[in-house]
Amino acid sequence: MAPPAVTARTIPTGFKMPDGYRSTFAPAAKPGIQLWEVSGKPPGLDGGESIDTTTMLNNVWRTRDARHLKTLTPLTFKAAFDPDVYNDLLNMINTPGAWTFHYPSSDALSFYANLEKAEPDDFEEGKMPLLTCTLTPTNWDPINFVEAAPVYTPAAGT
């Protein structure tokens, strides 16, 4: 069996985002929802813990293998809010739907998720009240009842 080959790193092409400003979230059910994003992050990717394939016939190394399924990880964002948004958030809690994360570069990532939490931070004098929202990606199309991967859309001209 041949050992793994050394791979040289090459200079990447593309756009390195210099700043997190302006990134936003848009729920398909209410794209003009009364939230003003202050911070947040897109969902991450998780392949799950590797499978231990070590047996009593291994000589020196424990062996592992990759799983097959992938997970789009939960995410949070903080936003200023109008108290009038309460009923919209109440209707969105535990209701699967499409959400889009807009990158500062104008690229977009759309995915199915449910709003798991919408929790106000402490109200303090001299500080803008914020709401922390937690989205859990479902990767499930609730209309067509099928597994659905996230969709990445590059910005025009990239």
Taking the alpha carbons of 36, 40, 45, 51 in that order, is the dihedral positive or negative?
negative
> pLDDT tens, 39-74?
999 999 999 999 999 999 999 999 999 999 999 999
CB atoms under 10 Å from CB of 100, counted, come to 18
Q: List CB contacts of 79: < 8 A, sequence separation 6 or more.
A: 35, 36, 37, 38, 40, 130, 131, 133
pLDDT on residue 156: 84
DSSP state of 84: G
Domain boundaries, the chain: 24-44+71-153
Mean pLDDT of 84-93: 97
The tens digit of pLDDT for each residue in 26-40 reads 999 999 999 999 999
CB distance 79 to 70 below 8 Å: no
Furthest C-alpha separation in the chain: 67
Q: What is the pTM of this model?
A: 0.89
Res 158 pLDDT > 60: no
